[in-house]
Each structure stands twice: as C-alpha cells, then as structure tokens.
Amino acid sequence: MKSKYLLFSVVIFLSLSSGLWARAQAEEVDDFIVNDPEVRRGILPNGLQYLIRANSRPQGMAELRLVLKVGSILEDDDQLGLAHFVEHMLFNGTERFPANELVDVLESFGIEYGPEANAYTTFDNTVYKLKVSTRDEEEFRLAFDVLKEWAFNATLIEEEFEKERAVIIEEWRIGRDAEARMLDEIYPVLFEGSRYAKRRPIGSMEIIQNASVETLRRFYKDWYRPDLMAVIAVGDFDVDEVVRIIEERFGNQKRPEKPKPRRQYEIPGHNETLIKVVHDEEATRSSVQILVKYDHQKSRYKKDVRQEIVEQLFYNMFNQRISKVARKENPPFLNAYCINTSYTEQTYISSLIAITQEDGILAGMEALLIEAERIRDFGFLDSELERARRDLLNYFEKLWQQRDDLESSVFIKPLMDVFLMGETYPSIDWQWQTLNEILPTISLEELTAYLEIPLSNKNRVVIVKGPSVPGITQLGDEAILEVFDRVRNLELEPWMDETISDVLVPNLPEPGRILSRSTIEELGVHIWTLSNGARVILKPTSYKAQEILFQAYSDGGLSQVEDEYYISARYAVDVVNEGGLGDFSALELTKVLAGKNLSIEPYIHGSYEGFTGASTYDDFETLLELLYLYFTGLRKDETAWKAFKARTTERIKHRESSPVASYNDFLWETIFDNHPRIRPITVERFNEVDMDKALEIFAERFEGAADFVFVIVGDFSLSAIEKTVERWLGGLAGGSAGEGWIDHGVRNALGVRDVSLKAGSEALSMVTHVWSGQWNGDFAERYRIQSLAAALEKAFTRVIREDAGGTYSIGIYPRLTVAPVKSYQFMIQYSCAPDRVEELSEKILSVVSQWRDGDVEEKYAADVSASQKRNLVENLEKNDWWADQIVFSVATGVDYRELLKRQILYESLSAEILSRTAHNYLNHDNYIRVVLYPKSED
C-alpha cells in the first residue's frame, strides 16, 4: 500500500461526479492539511531545496538522499539510457574521489555498497542514497561531501565510461526475460502518443553501445543543477547543524544563467479502448489487465484526505470480494486484485487484474468485471464497510502508537514526494486525528461512486499477457470488447455476506503451569518450562511500542516423513491454510480477524517445523488462540483445496518455460546428486499430493508442545502475559518430547563436475561455482565462513564487475547445515554473456587460488569487520534480530551467551583468517560448476 507520510497515500484521485461527493468537497474546501512542524524545509538562493527531520531510530544513524527532478524523460534522442548511465558513473569518479575511490572510502567506514550506498533512475527522477553514522562526525560530514560530489563534480572520464558501458549492458542482459520482451510491446500502447513510450530508463542498447562520453557529459551538464535538486536528511542529529552543513556544501554552487527548460511531459488521453495482446514462449502465467489512466492531483485539503480514505476502503472491500470468488471449486480466475500505481510524475493507473488459466482470459475478465458491476448496481454492504473500517483504523493505530520508534527510512519517501510532486507533509498526530474524524463519516454511496474510476471507458487500456498458446495468440480485440458490453447488460444478484461468530475458541483450554523459571541476565532473556514440557524463551524490550514477535521451533520436519508421502508433506501447510481453522473457513477467518494487527504462519522444513508470527501487545492473545487452533482445530475444505490445486497446477505447468527456473532446478539436482527429495515439482508430482495425508502429517508434526520451544520478544512485561502463556501454550497437549530428525541420505555430490544446461532464447548465461564438504558446526567457524563470503563478494565486485565489466552483480551464498550432517555449500553466482563464461570462470578460480594461498588484501577484512560492527550496534535494538538469534541458538545448540561474543570475533577478523578459511573450505576436490547457455549456443 502506498502511503503519504505514513498514513495517507500520495494518490489523490480525480473528483467524482457524485453530487454527495461534490457537496463534501465544498464543505471542506477551507480545511487545509497542516504540515509537520518537526520538518525543516528551506531553499537556498541557487534554488536547491532541503527537507530535514530529526528522528532517533536507529540511534546514531541518518538517512540521506540527493533527489533530482531528472530522469530518462529528459533524454535527447541520442541519449536514450544515459540518465541511468550517469547514475552509474557517479560511483566511478568525482573530483575528490577518482575512479572507484568513493566506494573504497565508504566501505572503510562500514557503509555497504548496495544496501546503504546506492542510486536509482526512473522516468522522472534520479535518487542517490546514503545511510551513515552520526556518531562519527567525520563520516557524517563526509556523507554530505559525497552528495555534493555527486551533484556537481562528476569527472566522467573516458576510461571509466568504457568500463561502465559493459556493466550496463550486463544489467540490460539480466533483465531480458519474457516479461521485459512483453513490456517492449506494451509500453508503446500504454503510453501512446507520449514521449514516455520511448524513454524507458534502461534505454536503447544501440545508443548505450555507441554513445560517446561527450553525449553523457552533455546530459550531466544540462540537468545536474541546483534548481532541480533537493537534499533530504532524516536521522539522529541536530537539525540546525544539518542546515549549516547543507548551506556550506551546496550554497556556493551557481545555477546556470540560461538553464535548459525542465518540461513536464503529458500522456494524451483517448476515448477509445486500446488493446494489446502479447505472448512469449518463456512466459509462465496468463493475465488480463484493465487499466485506466488518470492525472495525479496534489493533496491540499481535508477533502483530499477523505478521498484517500475512500480509496483505501474501496480496495480492501473489493479485493475481499474477489478473493472469495477465487476460492470457488472451479474459479473463473486463479487470482485477482484491484490496485493503483504511479507510472509517471503526473499519471496514475487504476488496474483490475486477473491471473487466469491459459485458455481462461475472457472468462476471468468477465468474472472480474461482474464483481465490479455488482458493486455499481447494488453497492457494498454495511458489514463490509465496518470490517474495512476496523482494518484501516487498527493498522494506522499501530503506526501512531509506534510513532516515536519508527525508523528514519520510513520518513524518507514521503519527504521525497514533497519535493518531487508538491505534496504536503502532515504530522502523524495530525493524520491520526484526521483519520478518526473522517473515517466514521464515510458512506457506502461514496465507495460506490469511487468505482467510476476503475470502470471508466475513457483512457482505458486492456493488456493480455501469457505464453504462446492458442488461448492467448488467437485472442482478438473484438472478443475482448464484447466482454464489456455483455457484462454491462447482465442482470446480477446482490452480494451476500454471511454472519459469523467472532469467537475463535468457544471452549477455553485448561491452563497449564510454569514449573520452572531461569534468567540469562547478560541477554535480558527469561526461560520458562511449562507443565506440558514446552519451553518458552522471553525477552521483554522497549525497542518498538506495541510490537511482539513470536517464533516456535521443533526438530523433525519433513525428515520424519517417508519418501512415499514426501510430496504430500511438502504441501501440508498449504492444505491447512486453505482449509481454515476451528469452525471457520480461511475466508471467514479474515472476517473474524478484521481490525486485528497480527499474523502467524506455520512451516515444515527439511529437519524442523515451527511458526513465525507478530502482533501488537493488544492482539497477542488472539495470536496465541490461532496457534492453539493450529495444534487442535485443523479443518478440511475440499472446495478451497481444489481452487488451490488449480492455481498451483497452472503455475507449475509453465514453470519449465522459464530458463532461470529450469536452471535453478538443474543446479540443485546437481549439487545433491539427483536425490529424490530434491527433484523439482512437476504437474505429475504435484498431482501425487493427498489432501487427507497432508492433514495427517501436519497433525503429527504439531501433535503436542513438549518438543517445542516458543520464543517471544517485544513490548510486554512478564507478569502481563504470564496467564496468557499458561492458558494458550500451557493448555496444549504435551505429546512426546525429544523427537529429532531422520537421515534420508541427502548429501553433497562428491568430486569435480562441470555441467551445463541449454535453455532460453536470450544471449544470457548464468554461472554457479559450488564448493562443498563438511564443517564442525562451531559458532566462530560459521562466522568466519560468512565473513569470507562477504569479503569475496567485495573482491569479485571489483574484479568481475568493475574491472572486467563482466557482470552486473555477483552473489556469494554460504549454506551451512547442522542436520542431518554438518555440511556446507559455498556458492558464487553471476550472469554474463555466453562468450565470456570461460574467461570469467578463470578469473573467479584465480582469485580463489590467490586467497587460498594467502594473497589477501587486509582492506577486505577491515571493511567487512567495520560493516559488521556497524550493523551489530543497530541490530541490538531490533526485536526481529533478537528473535532470530534465539531461535538460531535453539536450532544449532549454540550457547546463548555466544551471541555476546560477536564483537570479539569482529575485532579478530584478518586477512590471514580469510585466507585460512578459504583454504579450508574452497577445496577443489569437491567442486561443481553449473552453467546456463541459451538454446542457440553451440
């Protein structure tokens, strides 16, 4: 959901024709939105703007952005793709930071290139991002120097330009999938008659391959200027100081005497419905999209806020209805939804989208339109509106309660929209007060009137996408247009909304008791043992108001299931979730839980099972009630299961058409030597799922609580939740304790293998290098292996991406397991041109050999260590990090106190340790290379 300054979306729709709505606007036209007094906004004499807000989460950190009203829409005809190219080049040299020195300097402070230092380009704007420490004054001030260098001092030298050209070609290459090829055909229709149709940010490869550096410099000179820029800063700092820094860094920059006009480009309207049917041999799903374009209007008054609330309620209620239709035994569509999306700075699109079977496009489209027409004819029901109100109110109440604990990144996007789109920036308090004022007064008539936007026949575009099958390729425009006329003339019946009880568990369980209590003082962790044998590990915190995170863990998982029933076990969680719980179907549960802020999800993995969940403090007991029903109240719903089977079958059927999916299947089969449990899911295998057996397996895995550990972290006191824990966790049956996992012989393939797969039509290869073997399971050794991966990723980014221009990104993934055996896989993966596979593989293996032999620069250890120290400071105040660490300790047997020793490990990391770890684990005796080549490759 898009949101404007947390609560309300930046999207304000065109005024509706309803007389009721027009009166509401007239009555409220003088009620201005009040801007947040905590935001400091200013403009320098040269036109550069700033928006600054102090925020204390995370402590000692700040989020900075350099935002430009400059995107691909401003490119000249000989510059297609160069707005994005400039964005790349700003990391490849400025006057103060030549070549790649900028990345080196940032990483020396522990700033991670990618997550914390990055940029992106859209049609209309370009944004540069930094996340920096405010504890270190040198780093904090340097960050503003970096923003200034990006803004005005790029060197754009020929040598770096040529190297980065190769990287951008690789970025384009990895994006050339079926979806991209279909978008090539869709955009000229969607943006017909507009400059946007020919200005996709990735650009033209002909121009990227042949453009001169002078053409690039022309774009930078024309558009990187102060009157098109803003600096946005949110963080744990003194606002006055930040204002002074911005004035010092940016105030002396002159604006051009004769600046090139920054035009606004429109998308022309059209009365006729535009239709485009596109298909691709590698497409994996079929869909129909009914899109309506409309102009964005800035929000100024409370009437605009009211319109946003109407929008939120409408989408909630409409999507609830079509979700019910999708769960029919023979659903007309596999999934459907209604959304709105911003495509350009002035144009938004309201979308009705149905995912269908390959021969069900028209049926799915008709069913989707029928539900929309049903609303136009009869409106929504009071009961639907009441549930949607509760959902909206409770969701925003949680945000309001957490307003002092929200992280700085949450505030960035709304403040960017202030600059880019002229939006207002009300405080959270003002928004919460206004929501409570307006929400009870929203009427059913307003919601029905809103439907005129997605059902408008002006500026409408219908897009059909899917695989190259007769149900798509033979579809004509007339057949699509006939659906609109046919549905409009149907005699429909009103929607029926069943009344259901809101009591999840009618008969309360007898509470258990807490038999023993212990405390790990150093961690602030408490351990309770319940009378049914379950253990509960609790960590009360004050990191985020009202937030409670919940996890549960038990050994066993899929390993406890015989091979004959393995596929049914794989889908056991789906069978349960589709069936509902207790007396309620899955759809009825959503009604019962309307207005509740909670989620809980079971899982069954290879050697363990459990739950992940979250709630507010107020809804924590409801979360545990649902957990209780997962143990005691399973429910079978054959109709819902058949609908799920239809959805899943359609998804699986075309999965092999995707070269990347086929490659991933082939990769894992190779790594695990074609073990039966690693085989990919096909339609034939999926049809082996037995619903009754799946339910039986789930019930066995969650038979009792004695072998479970429950983890609760967040905003609570022990005394406040003690009785709740005793009733809902202690009230579970105990069952047998000490159940473990069973070894089914899934092992890494031994020896050296070099295998390949041919799939796909694009000139794209993917390469994965895999080293495997045994490890000792030690906490410190795990740290060293993970640090090796982080360090090598930095090294390969330099060698393979920056120096060789061989790939857009390279990922390193260490996979460490402790059950059924202590084994590892160390994977290096990247994409590239097929004719560079051997060259880049040699570079990879050469670096690995150098590191194994001790040739490691100390800077890699220092940079990784700096990043780890920085992240730890932040993580220590996050509930999710603590919950994950506690479960990790339970699952691996690592002593909880080891969690406190990370700082010691970070301090000890060295080039020598990295080299020794590479020598121990990157052993060429067990090495696999798996390569994807296109079908056409000889």
Q: Is pLDDT above 70 for 208?
A: yes
Mean pLDDT, residues 717-727: 98
**What's the rounded Cα separation, in Å, for the pair 661 and 35?**
48
At 636-656, the pLDDT tens digits run: 999 999 999 999 999 999 998
| CB-based contacts of 221, cutoff 8 Å, min separation 6 | none
Do 744 and 677 touch, CB atoms closer than 8 A?
yes
At 509-548, the pLDDT tens digits run: 999 999 999 999 999 999 999 999 999 999 999 999 999 9
Q: Is pLDDT above 70 for 612?
A: yes
**What's the rounded Cα separation, in Å, for the pair 361 and 333?**
8
At 325-360, the pLDDT tens digits run: 999 888 999 999 999 998 888 899 999 999 999 999
* Phi then psi dihedrals of residue 829, to 5 deg: -135, 140
Sheet (strand 39-43) strand order: 39-43, 49-54, 229-235, 61-68, 126-133, 117-121
3-class DSSP string for 487-513: HHCCCCCCCCCCCCCCCCCCCCCCCCC
Mean pLDDT, residues 47-71: 98
**Cross-strand partners of 291:** 351, 461
Other C-beta atoms within 10 Å of 240: how many? 11
Residue 557, amino acid? G
**What's the rounded Cα separation, in Å, for the pair 739 and 701?**
10
Mean pLDDT, residues 43-52: 98
Structure tokens of 515? Answer: 């038999």
Please give the distance of CA 627 from its chain centroid, rounded to a whole number: 26
Please, how many CA atoms are within 13 Å of residue 619, restricted to the half-sphere of its CB?
Answer: 23
At 443-496, the pLDDT tens digits run: 999 999 999 999 999 999 999 999 999 999 999 999 999 999 999 999 999 999
**What's the rounded Cα separation, in Å, for the pair 894 and 885?**
10
Mean pLDDT, residues 103-111: 94
* pLDDT > 70 fraction of the chain, expressed in percent and rounded: 97
pLDDT band at 738 (very low <50, low <70, confident <90, very high): confident
Map out the domains of the chain with their CATH numbers. Answer: 19-33+266-488 (3.30.830.10), 47-250 (3.30.830.10), 524-656+680-728 (3.30.830.10), 752-933 (3.30.830.10)
Q: Is pLDDT above 90 for 25?
A: no
**What's the rounded Cα separation, in Å, for the pair 674 and 659?**
19
Determine which of 193-202, 219-228, 337-346 has the lowest per-residue pLDDT on average: 337-346
Please give the distance of CA 228 from its chain centroid, rounded to a whole number: 30
Q: Is pLDDT above 70 for 386?
A: yes
Angle at which helices 691-701 and 572-579 pack, to 10 degrees? 100
| CB-based contacts of 547, cutoff 8 Å, min separation 6 | 402, 405, 614, 616, 714, 715, 879
Mean pLDDT, residues 275-297: 95
Structure tokens of 593? Answer: 């839980």
What does DSSP say about strands 49-54 and 39-43: parallel, antiparallel, or unpaired?
antiparallel
Q: Is pLDDT above 50 for 729?
A: yes
**What's the rounded Cα separation, in Å, for the pair 167 and 61?**
31
* 3 state DSSP class of 272: coil
Nearest to 357 by CA among 643, 675, 34, 143: 643
Do 909 and 861 touch, CB atoms closer than 8 A?
yes
Other C-beta atoms within 10 Å of 139: how many? 20
pLDDT band at 899 (very low <50, low <70, confident <90, very high): confident
Q: Rounded to a whole number, what is the largest CA-CA distance in the chain? A: 81
- Computed over every residue of the chain, the mean pLDDT equals 94
pLDDT band at 405 (very low <50, low <70, confident <90, very high): very high
What does DSSP say about strands 525-530 and 514-520: parallel, antiparallel, or unpaired?
antiparallel
Pick left, alpha or beta for residue 385 (phi over 0 → left; psi -120 to 50 → alpha; otherwise beta). Answer: alpha
Q: Is pLDDT above 70 for 176?
A: yes
Please give the distance of CA 429 from its chain centroid, rounded to a whole number: 28
**What's the rounded Cα separation, in Å, for the pair 591 and 613?**
19
**What's the rounded Cα separation, in Å, for the pair 895 and 887?**
11
**What's the rounded Cα separation, in Å, for the pair 647 and 334?**
5
Helices and strands (H and E) in the chain: how many: 32, 23
Q: Is pLDDT above 50 for 794?
A: yes
Q: Is pLDDT above 70 for 880?
A: yes
**What's the rounded Cα separation, in Å, for the pair 39 and 243?**
12
Residue 811, amino acid? G
Nearest to 780 by CA among 925, 633, 621, 905: 905
Mark out the alpha helices in 4-136 (DSSP H runs): 19-28, 82-89, 101-108
At 244-268, the pLDDT tens digits run: 999 999 999 999 999 999 999 999 9
Other C-beta atoms within 10 Å of 172: how many? 19
Determine which of 14-18, 369-373, 391-395, 722-726 has the lowest per-residue pLDDT on average: 14-18
Report the chain's terminal Cα–Cα distance, integer Å: 47
At 352-369, the pLDDT tens digits run: 999 999 999 999 999 999
The conformation of residue 204, written as its DSSP 8-state character, comes to: -
* pLDDT > 90 fraction of the chain, expressed in percent and rounded: 92
User: pTM above the 0.85 mark?
Assistant: yes
> CA torsion 16→18→24→27, rounded to 10°?
100
**What's the rounded Cα separation, in Å, for the pair 346 and 647?**
36
**What's the rounded Cα separation, in Å, for the pair 409 and 11?**
20
pLDDT band at 736 (very low <50, low <70, confident <90, very high): confident
Q: Is pLDDT above 50 for 19?
A: no
Mean pLDDT, residues 861-869: 97
Q: Is pLDDT above 70 for 910?
A: yes
Sheet (strand 347-356) strand order: 274-280, 460-467, 286-295, 347-356, 335-342
Other C-beta atoms within 10 Å of 755: how many? 12
Higher model confidence: residue 188 or residue 15?
A: 188
* 3 state DSSP class of 910: coil
pLDDT band at 3 (very low <50, low <70, confident <90, very high): very low
